[in-house]
Amino acid sequence: MIPFNFDYFKPETLEEALKIYSSEWKLGKKVIYLSGGTEVITFARGGKMTFDSVIDLKGIPECTMLEMQGDDLVIGAAVTLNRLVESNHFPLLSKTVRTIADHTSRNKITIGGNLMSKLGYREGILPFLITDAIAVVYGPAGTEAMPVDNLAAAELAEGQFLTQVKVAASNLDLPFVSMKRTRSSKVGYPIVSLAALRKEGRIRIAFSGIHEHPFRSAVVEGILNDETIEDQQRIDKAIAKLPTNVTDDFIASKDFRKFVLNKLLTEMNAVWEGSR
Ligand SMILES: Cc1cc2nc3c(=O)[nH]c(=O)nc-3n(C[C@H](O)[C@H](O)[C@H](O)COP(=O)(O)OP(=O)(O)OC[C@H]3O[C@@H](n4cnc5c(N)ncnc54)[C@H](O)[C@@H]3O)c2cc1C
């Protein structure tokens, strides 16, 4: 049970959602947006989050669409992870999100909720980081399109919400690997999770689990693409260039995360080697 009262709204348009946000906010209320609601409900039950008003985005067509529009795949923020897996428009995304939580939870968890999650993992963003995807947000300044990278480390402005993510069709079917290691079972937060693809002969790669937020690093990518040095040296050099504050917590120590990453990068090289 959620131990406090709140008002629930389910608007049918972007404009209506923002109007509700503004009027509730002006009354001094704490307002939040919600897509799947799994995290909001869990946090509220556990006393980690409070709010006065909730705006559910699942009634807004722009947030629930999943279709090709011209040269882009358009993914609504309120599309569930299972719908993404089943549609398989973007195989790397399908493979990545099917490792998040269990099947029953993925019927509720949405891609927007994963990208905006307060938990640091947000593995659903990895395929978008390496395909130069565009995040579409709506808010007081109207509709804005921005590189999805902006969502990885920063919060949206007051009143803004994520409506869609767009991926160019030319990036949907590139050769990829998606790898994840957890502490014990298949379902669990990642010690390390990575998504990589090859485009025009170069590896693009993004990580979750090893830093407080998911990231793609031009420096690490540059080293992994340097064919003048041998595989293992490349991996060691890349790991040495990780952000300095590698996550060190109850799931895994900093050194263990680096060890696991070393293994995954070796496996990734073997996969690419086999496909040459
Ligand atoms: C059993 C379990 C295992 C999990 N394992 C993993 C894992 O391995 N890897 C991983 O990455 N995650 C994992 N998670 C976390 C999970 O992916 C997130 O908690 C989940 O994605 C939240 O999705 P939701 O749609 O229910 O979000 P919600 O509960 O709706 O929202 C989550 C947050 O995002 C905000 N929000 C939601 N939609 C929008 C929007 N459109 N615009 C702006 N803000 C918005 C909300 O205000 C809230 O702060 C796991 C969760 C569970 C329950």
Tell me the per-residue pLDDT of 201-233, one tens digit each, with 9 for 90 and over.
Answer: 999 999 999 999 999 999 999 999 999 999 999
Say what the pLDDT of residue 1 is. 86
Say what the pLDDT of residue 275 is. 66
pTM above 0.85, yes or no: yes
Check whether 125 has a pLDDT greater than 70. Answer: yes
Distance 43 CA to ligand 1 centre (A): 11
Q: Which atom of ligand 1 is nearest to the CA of 105?
A: 53
Check whether 273 has a pLDDT greater than 90. Answer: no
Residues with CB under 6 A from ligand 1: 32-40, 57, 77, 100-101, 105, 108-110, 112-114, 116-119, 121-123, 156, 161-162, 189-190
pLDDT digits (tens, 9 = 90+) for 70-111: 999 999 999 999 999 999 999 999 999 999 999 999 999 999
Say what the pLDDT of residue 276 is. 58
Order of strands across the sheet that contains 134-139:
66-69, 72-76, 161-168, 134-139, 142-147
* Ligand 1 mutation target, pool 2, 18, 38, 123, most atoms within 8 A of CB: 38
Q: Which atom of ligand 1 is nearest to the CA of 123?
A: 11
Say what the pLDDT of residue 18 is. 98
**Mean pLDDT, range 180-188, rounded to an integer:** 85
**Mean pLDDT, range 59-79, rounded to an integer:** 98
pLDDT digits (tens, 9 = 90+) for 9-58: 999 999 999 999 999 999 999 999 999 999 999 999 999 999 999 999 99
Say what the pLDDT of residue 185 is. 73
- pLDDT tier at 5 (50, 70, 90 boundaries)? very high
Domains and CATH numbers, the chain: 7-59 (3.40.50.300), 61-171 (3.30.465.10), 176-274 (3.30.390.50)
134-139 vs 142-147, strand pairing mode: antiparallel
Check whether 113 has a pLDDT greater than 90. Answer: yes
pLDDT digits (tens, 9 = 90+) for 136-172: 999 999 999 999 999 987 789 999 999 999 999 999 9
- pLDDT tier at 258 (50, 70, 90 boundaries)? very high
**Mean pLDDT, range 59-73, rounded to an integer:** 98
Check whether 274 has a pLDDT greater than 80. Answer: no
Say what the pLDDT of residue 186 is. 74
Distance 37 CA to ligand 1 centre (A): 7
CA distance 18 to 11: 9
**Mean pLDDT, range 237-256, rounded to an integer:** 92
* Ligand 1 mutation target, pool 41, 116, 137, most atoms within 8 A of CB: 116
Distance 177 CA to ligand 1 centre (A): 23
